[in-house]
Structure 1
Amino acid sequence: MVSRIGREIEISPVELASQIAKKVEINLASGTPDPKVMPIAEIKETYNEVIEEYGSKVFFYPGAGGQEELIKEIENYIPNLNLSLNGNRIVVTSGAQHAIELLSKYFLENDTIAVENPTFIETFTPLKLRSNVVLPIGLDSKGIIVDELETVLKIVKIKLLYVIPNCHNPAGVNLCEDRRKRLVELADSYDFYILEDDPYKPIAGETPKPIKYFDKSGRVIYISSFSKIIAPGLRIGFILANEEIAEKISLIEQMDFSTSTINQYVVARLLKKGIVKNRMNYLYEHYANKMKILTDSLLDTGFTDFNRPSCGFFLLLDLKKDSWKVFNEAIKMGLSFVPAKPFFLRGGDTMARLSISVATEDEIKKGVKILKSAWDRV
């Protein structure tokens, strides 16, 4: 009596591990930004400002595609991401996750898509549930393996390719610039669209130009968010897409009216004040320092099978043992992380995703020691 989506939807391992993390001492599972560096005072002040200036207007229904004030400020902001409008249009969404859901509705109806292996399970899920076939493409220290993708494209027709180019979740790698250019060439040659999911760029430091930067034919849809640079609970993200796609996404977005009106005004004001831009380098350095503590702790403890993350929150560690068994032991000892098997379409049984986002420096060090003790017990 329910749809295929209703039958197949399951709790994600990220949500499961995050729920458990609330009950243990050390959280190396969560993808929430570090609460210690969220601009709470500035957000509070800005709520008061927009209410005083706009009154009841900030509590009206949101308009389709985003408030004019926010769209204007995002247009002024995107040069910080090495982007420009260049004939494209901004559509505001309730975070990047909402953008992926809307794009899934627009593009997919039992189609064939390709994704990195591994990929982020929570954004991948709405794509998978509306697809018929999902093709996993390998990932290495330079990002998606484009030669492998091209080999697949010579055999199979796809509609979409989903990629996370910066601070990959869960692998932590950045896609190199040559491969970004090649992806656009392949999209033109083999007639498919690219969803470029890039919520980490604002805290990523120096990275190659976006895939969208090289797009001349409107085949790349760029997706970003203010969740990592400001706060995820505001639920404000956006897409940058050609006019035709943007118009349709705006209409689909209007069907759920989910993007908070007042939060759009608040983020617009934070952008206008320069608070978002001014936090970019600071947050990159903050998370890079915490990641160094994690990598150094792992090496000191004898864990060596991981790529050094380029930026962001996540490190993908090969435990060389069943990660769920290690997880179950770690939970008993007060540590939560994310067993990463569900991020993989093939393989991944021994992989663990470790996050440095909410843990303190001392908790990271202690968490790695607990991880080693749990590993020893398995």
Structure 2
Amino acid sequence: MVSRIGKEVELSPVELASQTAKKVEINLASGTPDPKVMPIKEIKEAYNEVIEEYGSKVLFYPGAGGQEELINEIKNYLPLLGLSEGKDKIIVTSGAQHAIELLSKYFLENDTIAVENPTFIETFMAMKLRSNVVLPISLDSNGIVVDELENLLKIINIKFLYVIPNCHNPAGVNLCEERRKRLVELAELHDFYILEDDPYRPIAGDVPKPIKYFDKFGRVIYISSFSKIIAPGLRVGFILANEEIAEKISLIEQLDFSTSTINQYVVSRLLRKGIVKERMNYLYNHYSNKMKILIESLQDVGFTDFNKPSCGFFLLLDLKKDSWKVFLEAVKMGLSFVPAKPFFLRGGDTMARLSISVASEEDIKKGVRILKSAWNNI
């Protein structure tokens, strides 16, 4: 006596691995930003400042689509992401995953969509549960294989394409500029939308312009978040979309009122004070250094079957053995990572997602040694 969604929803492998990580010594599973570099002091000051300045106003119900103060600050922030508002409209959401949930509600009713293979399972589930057919499109070191998508579009129509262009979760790759431009052309030619999920750009360093930058027809819906650059618990992100879509999403967002009013004021204050801008290069260097250690540690023990991540938190490793069996053995030895098969619509049985986000440099080195030992035991 439940809905289709109620029947099909299941525990995410990311959540499972994260729960396991609480019970082991070394966590190479979590996608949470490094707590050691979260701006706790600045966040605390921002809370005090907005309460002092606005009083009870910051504790009212949030307005539909976001607080005006935050929307104005996001407009000023967009050029740092390679964008401008133009004719589009900003809608504030409770992070990127809430944005994708809202967009799935708006667009999908047993439709056909396309996603990268692999893709991020936790955002993908919101789309999958409302879709009829999901087409997996391969990834390589330059991102989604556009030629494969183009061939499929000759024989089947899709409602939208979901893509993670920067610091891909879980693959770690960046989409090259030539393919970004081609995706926009295909969207107009074949009448579909592109959901550009781009939460890592603020910490990604030098990457190509967003797909949205090349969009002349309102075909690209840009999704971003302040989770990686500030803190995920604030639950603040945004959508940049054409006015018609944005207005509808605003009405759907109003149904749950989930984006905290006071947190919107806090993020607005952090943007206005330049704290977000100041953190961009610092965090890119911080995570790049940790990723370098992971790559070198893997190579030292003989693991070489991976694309070197360009940025972000994640490396996708082909273990050449059943990753679930390796995971269970690793947990016994004090290590958690994410067996990555659920990120794939096809294949992926031997893939493991390793994360450098919360682990220290020494824990990364030790974790890789444990991973090798667990691998040897299988």
TM more than 0.5: yes
Alignment correspondent of 1:123: 123
The SS at the match of 1:347 is: coil
Alignment correspondent of 2:171: 171
Residue 86 of structure 1, CA deviation: 1.4
The 1-side partners of 2:307 and 2:86 are apart by: 35
The 1-side partners of 2:160 and 2:125 are apart by: 14
One-letter code aligned to 1:130? R
1:14 aligns with 2:14: yes
The SS at the match of 2:156 is: coil
The SS at the match of 2:53 is: helix
The 2-side partners of 1:40 and 1:100 are apart by: 28
Q: Deviations over 1:24-55 (max 9, x none)?
A: 00000000000000000000011000000000
The 1-side partners of 2:86 and 2:163 are apart by: 22
One-letter code aligned to 2:324? W
One-letter code aligned to 2:343? F
1:112 aligns with 2:122: no
The SS at the match of 1:284 is: helix
The SS at the match of 2:166 is: coil
Alignment correspondent of 1:69: 69
Alignment correspondent of 1:327: 327
Gaps of 5+ in 1: none
Pairing 1:344-355 to 2, within 5 Å after superposition: 344-355=344-355
User: RMSD across aligned C-alpha pairs, in angstroms?
Assistant: 0.3
One-letter code aligned to 2:74? I
Alignment correspondent of 2:59: 59
Residue 4 of structure 1, CA deviation: 0.3
Residue 124 of structure 1, CA deviation: 0.4
The 2-side partners of 1:84 and 1:68 are apart by: 17
The 2-side partners of 1:97 and 1:327 are apart by: 26
One-letter code aligned to 1:167? C
One-letter code aligned to 1:31? G
Pairing 1:68-87 to 2, within 5 Å after superposition: 68-87=68-87
Alignment correspondent of 1:34: 34
Q: Deviations over 1:54-76 (max 9, x none)?
A: 00000000000000000000000
The 1-side partners of 2:341 and 2:198 are apart by: 23
The SS at the match of 2:106 is: helix
The 1-side partners of 2:273 and 2:22 are apart by: 35
The 1-side partners of 2:278 and 2:87 are apart by: 27
One-letter code aligned to 2:123? T
The SS at the match of 1:316 is: strand
The 2-side partners of 1:262 and 1:161 are apart by: 34
The 2-side partners of 1:95 and 1:188 are apart by: 28
Residue 142 of structure 1, CA deviation: 0.1
Residue 205 of structure 1, CA deviation: 0.2
The 2-side partners of 1:160 and 1:370 are apart by: 41
Pairing 1:246-285 to 2, within 5 Å after superposition: 246-285=246-285
Residue 110 of structure 1, CA deviation: 0.2
Residue 357 of structure 1, CA deviation: 0.1
The 1-side partners of 2:82 and 2:238 are apart by: 15
Q: Report the number of matched residues.
A: 378
Residue 213 of structure 1, CA deviation: 0.2
Alignment correspondent of 2:214: 214
The 2-side partners of 1:309 and 1:155 are apart by: 33
One-letter code aligned to 2:287? Y
Alignment correspondent of 1:232: 232
Q: Deviations over 1:269-313 (max 9, x none)?
A: 000000000100000000000000000000001000000000000
Pairing 1:299-338 to 2, within 5 Å after superposition: 299-338=299-338
The 1-side partners of 2:48 and 2:306 are apart by: 46
Q: Deviations over 1:236-257 (max 9, x none)?
A: 0000000000000000000000
The 1-side partners of 2:257 and 2:236 are apart by: 13
Alignment correspondent of 2:49: 49
Alignment correspondent of 1:138: 138
Sequence identity (%): 85
One-letter code aligned to 1:166? N
The 1-side partners of 2:351 and 2:99 are apart by: 28
One-letter code aligned to 1:194? I
The SS at the match of 2:245 is: helix
Q: Deviations over 1:107-140 (max 9, x none)?
A: 0000000000000000000000000000000000
The SS at the match of 1:135 is: strand
The SS at the match of 2:227 is: coil
The 2-side partners of 1:272 and 1:89 are apart by: 20
The 1-side partners of 2:191 and 2:246 are apart by: 19
Pairing 1:361-372 to 2, within 5 Å after superposition: 361-372=361-372
